[in-house]
Homo-oligomer: A and B are copies of this chain.
């Protein structure tokens, strides 16, 4: 973590590109989107499925849209936000675990040696997750996440993580909801890690958040019912798990799906395979100046097979650099009339 903290100190806050102003009229539903093919494709789809009498009309109840979270709704570089949370929790819990000084992966981690910590591969990661995510009640975990997300800051920009969300995607969520869509998160991240803040930040209530989970068990503690989080994987909501999670939670196939990595490919395939009008979109990270540029070779959010399949099937691929007028809300000089966009 010291490495990361060091980066924070060294980095110039990316406020240079702040204060984008807009020539478009205030009522444009997607003010942070340029007038490009991607934007036109989104609007054309929404108009097709919502226009009564249209051959592609979809009843409101079936207007289900699913969004990946990491890299699709908020930044996932230089590491997943939940990984930063886990590392901070290890530091916070270390005084109660003197044995960690001599036990991997914790020993390396506490020395700030991330490479050493992760040298143990998946078992090491699982140990970190279980030590930091299990053993408490669901209410306690909710409070831990809520407290952490209120103050934790991005190592590069120094912004709150909840400010590292994509302004164009916030507008897209609001635009879809204004057109009768129910918007869901379908993320490989922890379902209970996202729920405490997803409603405030994205306007997505807990019951519309789907993610990976560990098992919980019901218990009566001094007569008071609690749900205790167990150190056992329940469900991994990634790759082929995404359609499974969608079916388990929604029970209806989405008509639109939005992702940014190969982890979202099966969700897009599942969505595209339904009958009637469908919309699949990949966010392609092409903007090294305002955000990050990465795809096929990235360790975080690799987009390789998905990029090929999107091209082959004519899915919309958002070029962040070309399609987005602004990336983060803090770049935008907000028109007061648009304050309620979220």
In the complex, A224 has a CB within 8 A of chain B: yes
Determine the residue in chain B with the shortest Cβ distance to A242: B218
In the complex, A191 has a CB within 8 A of chain B: yes
Please name all residues of chain B whose beta carbon is closer than 8 Å to the beta carbon of A220 when the two chains form the complex.
269
Asked whether, in the complex, the Cβ of B251 is within 8 Å of the Cβ of A191, the reply is: yes
A251 to B34, CA, bound (A): 36
Partner of A270, one of B192, B218, B266: B218
A227 to B273, CA, bound (A): 12
Partner of A225, one of B195, B227, B273: B273
CB A259 to nearest CB in B, in angstroms, measures: 15
Interface residues of A in 224-277 (CB under 8 A from B): 224-225, 227, 234, 240-241, 243-244, 247-252, 266, 269-270, 273
Asked whether, in the complex, the Cβ of B266 is within 8 Å of the Cβ of A243, the reply is: no
A195 to B249, CA, bound (A): 11
In the complex, A187 has a CB within 8 A of chain B: no
Please name all residues of chain B whose beta carbon is closer than 8 Å to the beta carbon of A195 when the two chains form the complex.
251
CB A66 to nearest CB in B, in angstroms, measures: 11
Asked whether, in the complex, the Cβ of B244 is within 8 Å of the Cβ of A207, the reply is: no
Asked whether, in the complex, the Cβ of A216 is within 8 Å of the Cβ of B247, the reply is: yes
Interface residues of A (CB under 8 A from B): 61, 64, 138, 182, 191-192, 195, 199, 205-209, 213, 216-218, 220, 224-225, 227, 234, 240-241, 243-244, 247-252, 266, 269-270, 273
| A-B pairs, 5 with minimum CB distance | A206-B251, A218-B240, A207-B250, A195-B251, A225-B269
